[in-house]
Amino acid sequence: MDIPRLIDPYGREHHYLRISVTDRCNLRCVYCMPEEGMEFEPSDKILTYGEIAEVVRVSAGMGIRKIRLTGGEPLVRKNLEQLIAMIAGIPGIEDIALTTNGMFLAPKAQLLKDAGLTRVNISMDSLQPDRFKAITRGGELRKVLEGIEACAKADLSPIKLNVVLMKGLNEDEIADFIRLTRDHELHVRFIEYMPIGHNDAAWKSLYLPLSRVMEVCSEQQWKVEPVAAIPGTGPSENYRIDGALGSFGLIHPVSSHFCQTCNRLRLTADGYIKPCLAWTEQFHIRRVIGDDEAMRRMLMDALRTKPEHHEMSHFLKADATVSHTPTARRMSQIGG
Ligand code: SAM
Ligand code: SF4
């Protein structure tokens, strides 16, 4: 029997599965979750590690090579290293990355590496402790910095720092983040604030197009050169200032989408495949775990609904009209 490849109607081949292992988090970043009133799935609605590994096994047979574990905060889930070891043993999987807020990373970095983790992305939206605490509503920058050091020691590299830029909140730190890449082998990835689950006036007022990053480089009179792809860079456009050890990248889904190269599917913690981050379509893959043929059919059905591109930029207009229903899930309920 021929096993289908994960190719969608626009010819995009999918190699990358982002897996949210929990919708819970120890923080409440302003752009991701409301401060109060967030409702979480009961634990029996959350996929077990065995179920996640089954989805990975079947999708690896259809072409998935790269896995990213995310959340919510993936490190609030107990013994994440067990899941990493299970995934690392699945034929076809070449790369297992983690996106984390870094608060629980320092004591676990080596354990995660030993289990088979290849790389980490650490979210860090400010280099100023008080501001970091305010944006994350409670995060401690010191712990994240310790996590970065522990990852460097454990050779979990390249280490990427995810920075969501927001107007008036942290845009004045663009130069500081880029300076950090001069003396450290760190890869900063500036990300545009996306209207996921809340495309409202508050989002509009904080949204900052990433063209601002290049303006800052000109103001600083930095010589900026493009950098060839760094392993696992995905949609990021990468640059380096003259002589820097690290690099910085721009991920601009709102001002200029990169859907034509999208190669990713998402598995939510409550067991749905989401073909597109922005739209509401989702497929309850948990229902078909144990029936490989049905799972493959569902994955192909999901791909058939994947749009050519999302329409996040439409929400910047006064009369936002879009062609699909936007997802009601917050980023923490998808995995970013
Ligand atoms: N808790 C982990 C963390 O913060 O890294 C993983 C989950 S978080 C949802 C994944 C990524 O999505 C983080 O880098 C976070 O900064 C980013 N993110 C969350 N909400 C976002 C939004 N509305 N726009 C852009 N990025 C967002
Ligand atoms: Fe938690 Fe990550 Fe969302 Fe922040 S971005 S609230 S750390 S899930």
Q: pLDDT digit string (tens) for 230-275?
A: 666 578 899 999 999 999 999 999 998 889 999 999 999 999 999 9
Check if 194 has its Cβ closer than 6 Å to any atom of ligand 1.
yes
> Which own/partner contact pairs does 230-233 have at CB distance under 8 Å and 24+ positions apart?
230/158, 230/187, 231/95, 231/119, 231/158, 232/66, 232/95, 232/97, 232/118, 232/119, 232/158, 232/160, 233/187
Over range 159-188, report the average pLDDT: 97
Ligand 2 nearest atom to the CA of residue 26, by list position: 1
Interval 24-45: pLDDT, tens: 999 999 999 999 989 999 999 9
Residue ranges of domains in the chain: 16-334
Q: How far, in Å, is the centroid of ligand 1 from the Cα of 124?
A: 10
Q: What is the pLDDT of residue 231?
A: 65
Flag whether pLDDT at 155 surpasses 70.
yes
Flag whether pLDDT at 130 surpasses 70.
yes
- Ligand 2: residues with CB < 6 A are 25, 27-29, 32-33, 71-73, 101, 123, 136, 331-332
The SS3 call for residue 90 is coil
Check if 332 has its Cβ closer than 6 Å to any atom of ligand 1.
yes
The 10 Å Cβ neighbour count of residue 324 is 14
Check if 101 has its Cβ closer than 6 Å to any atom of ligand 1.
yes
Predicted confidence band of residue 291 (pLDDT cuts 50, 70, 90): very high
> Domain spanning 16-334: which superfamily?
Aldolase class I (3.20.20.70)
Interval 87-107: pLDDT, tens: 999 999 999 999 999 999 999
Pocket test for ligand 2, best of 18, 75, 332 (most atoms within 8 A of CB): 332
Ligand 1 nearest atom to the CA of residue 334, by list position: 9
